Structure 1
Amino acid sequence: MIHMIKLSVGVSSFEELESYRDQRAHWWGADYGEEVHVHRTRMMPKRAKEMEGASSIYWVISGQVVCRQPILRLAPYTNEEGKDYCDIIMSRDMIRTVPYPKRPFQGWRYLRPEDAPPDLGANENGGSLEIAADLARLGLI
């Protein structure tokens, strides 16, 4: 299994990403027969088969990994000009992770499970993202 990591360009907070997902989820649902969140990217992962239904896309917002969304499937898409893309079809569920710093990069990258930040449970650190971010910056979690 391998995960994916991607910058959420133009989004400044987890709440803004949720809002974007909510605006787009219904529109994409008509195409895929369910309410999903779809992100279109240029390149189809070579390891797509091992990702579908088992991996997540980890979102980087403002220089930190802050959440993940389970990947349901990856679908090829060709636009009217004949250019190929990949639709990353994700669950609407957004799972907060322990905030983890990440430098900017282009496109998406693979993320090994052992390098992925853990989910932030409701009771961990009192549920405070600020405390978790501070502890992560200090290398304590």
Structure 2
Amino acid sequence: MSHINLVKLCVGADTIDDLAGWQRQRAAQARKAGGDALPRHVTRMWPKQEQALLAGGSLYWVIRGVILCRQTILRLDEVTGQDGIRRCGIVLDPEIHRTEAVTRRPFQGWRYLKPADAPRDLPDGRAQEEALPPGLSAALAEIGVR
């Protein structure tokens, strides 16, 4: 089975480091509460293409209008909120992989992303470099320089 990915806006984060810090903070809270410390994103809708996501899909994060990184999707957990509504917890591998910068217009929720349309991971040497400022990444991606 071929896999599919998701793309999601990373609201509230200005950098990849912001995302990683937020996930570390949530992991520490989960450990204290006796849960697993894997990062997760809780969303209202359950993906219809669940099997394809779990066949090797990733969640690509859009930070300030630019896809900059991804995390492998490990599983989907049912989460019931205090309001009794069933939601989907997208459980992610804690390792954040930096990708080529690709601009994305704002959108609500998440979108499917075919593997052929997904930005490539940065080579090992470049993944260790300090990330460019989001505005510069967006400008370079806009003109096709990755």
TM (normalized to structure 1)? 0.86
Query: Any stretches of 5+ residues in structure 2 without a counterpart?
Result: none
Secondary structure (helix, strand or coil) at the match of 1:105 reads coil
Q: Equivalences for 1:37-52 in 2 at 5 Å?
A: 37-52=39-54
Q: Equivalences for 1:1-141 in 2 at 5 Å?
A: 1-29=3-31, 30-32=34-36, 35-52=37-54, 54-124=56-126, 127=129, 129-130=131-132, 133=137, 136-141=141-146
Equivalent-residue separation in structure 2 for 1:126 and 1:78 (angstroms): 38
Compute the RMSD of aligned alpha carbons: 2.4
Greater Cα offset, 74-83 or 118-127: 118-127
Contact 1:53 1:70 in 2 (8 A): no
1:136 partner letter? A
TM (normalized to structure 2)? 0.83
Secondary structure (helix, strand or coil) at the match of 1:31 reads coil
Greater Cα offset, 48-57 or 37-46: 48-57
Question: What is the CA deviation profile of residues 8-44 of structure 1, one whole-angstrom value per residue up to 9, with x for unaligned ones?
Answer: 1111111111110110123335323xx3101111011
- How many percent of aligned residue pairs carry the same amino acid? 38
